[in-house]
Amino acid sequence: MANLDRLFNALSDPTRRAILQDLRRGPATAGALGAAHPMALPSFMKHLGVLERAGLIETEKQGRTRSCRLAPGALVPVSAWLADQRLLWEERTERLAAFVENHEERR
């Protein structure tokens, strides 16, 4: 569950979601990614750190350049959790609908 907490925490920030959107086009350097966001590079690097610790991105440093890419399968736990929640609420909705229909028939 801690991993899921880290994933949702990372996804809760609009800057980090924008970074993930940018990386959908392919790997990019931290500098290139940061240029699209109006903040100092150290602040931007903190966002990259959160994404990396959550397992959403992978980074590699070569010299002074840090390359970033999406981590394959990183959103699988989020997708699985959401699917479980969707199933739970669909079952509850179906039970509520059956209750209402049964109640209407009794009237």
The domain limits of the chain are 1-71, 75-107
What pLDDT, on the 0 to 100 scale, is given for residue 19?
A: 97
pLDDT-based confidence at 73, cuts 50/70/90? very high
Residues 27-37 pLDDT 10s: 999 999 999 99
CA distance 10 to 5: 9
What pLDDT, on the 0 to 100 scale, is given for residue 52?
A: 96
Residue identified by tokens 């699988």 is 76
For 25, which DSSP code? T
Residue with the larger pLDDT of the pair 49 and 103: 49
- The whole model's pTM is what? 0.79
What pLDDT, on the 0 to 100 scale, is given for residue 79?
A: 92
Q: At what angle are helices 41-53 and 14-23 packed, to 10 degrees?
A: 80
Residue with the larger pLDDT of the pair 2 and 86: 86
Q: Which CATH architecture describes the domain 1-71?
A: Orthogonal Bundle (1.10)
Q: With helix as H, strand as E and coil as C, how does 27-92 read?
A: CEEHHHHHCCCCCCHHHHHHHHHHHHHCCCEEEEEECCEEEEEECCCCCHHHHHHHHHHHHHHHHH
Mean pLDDT of the chain: 92
Average pLDDT value for residue range 30-50: 94
